């Protein structure tokens, strides 16, 4: 899992010359919006037809945590784009997908 994250981070950096998840999302063509979710969720990846949108909780606007949450959701948008049915129906799969996204986000933030 760690190696997969590091390979993707290296690839993204080589293509886009940034580790900033906001700039990566923009360069990849994924719109990011802050919305009023209430307490949860902190972020969500939404797909409609061919468009991908990442929604972040507006409570994160002024918090550094927004970078980690966006990086986490960005991983879902890149790596799990065809797994929405699997993601919602597999009990153990969801935990694995969340760990993968958090591992990626942590490594991206270290860079």
Concatenated DSSP letters of 49-73: TTEEEEEEEGGGTTSTHHHHHHHHH
The string of pLDDT tens digits covering residues 31-56 is 999 999 999 999 999 988 888 999 99
- Of the chain, the percentage scoring pLDDT greater than 90 comes to 74
The string of pLDDT tens digits covering residues 66-87 is 999 999 999 999 997 765 543 4
Range of the structural domain that residue 100 is part of: 2-110
Asked if residue 74 lies in contact with residue 81, where contact means CB atoms within 8 angstroms, the answer is: no
Identify the pLDDT of residue 30. Answer: 96
Q: In what order do the strands lie in the sheet with 51-57?
A: 31-35, 51-57, 43-48
Residue 97 has pLDDT above 90, yes or no: no
Q: Average pLDDT of the chain?
A: 88
Identify the pLDDT of residue 83. Answer: 54
Looking at residue 23, which CATH number applies to its domain?
Answer: 1.10.10
Q: How many domains, in total, are found in the chain?
A: 1
């Amino acid at each position: 899992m760690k190696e997969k994250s590091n390979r993707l981070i290296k690839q993204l950096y080589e293509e886009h010359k940034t580790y900033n998840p906001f700039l990566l999302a923009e360069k990849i063509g994924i719109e990011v919006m802050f919305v009023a979710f209430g307490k949860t969720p902190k972020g969500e990846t939404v797909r409609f037809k061919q468009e991908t949108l990442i929604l972040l909780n507006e409570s994160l606007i002024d918090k550094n945590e927004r970078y980690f949450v966006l990086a986490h959701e960005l991983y879902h948008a890149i790596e799990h784009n065809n797994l929405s049915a699997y993601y919602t129906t597999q009990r153990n799969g969801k935990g694995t997908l969340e760990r993968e996204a958090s591992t990626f986000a942590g490594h991206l933030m270290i860079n």
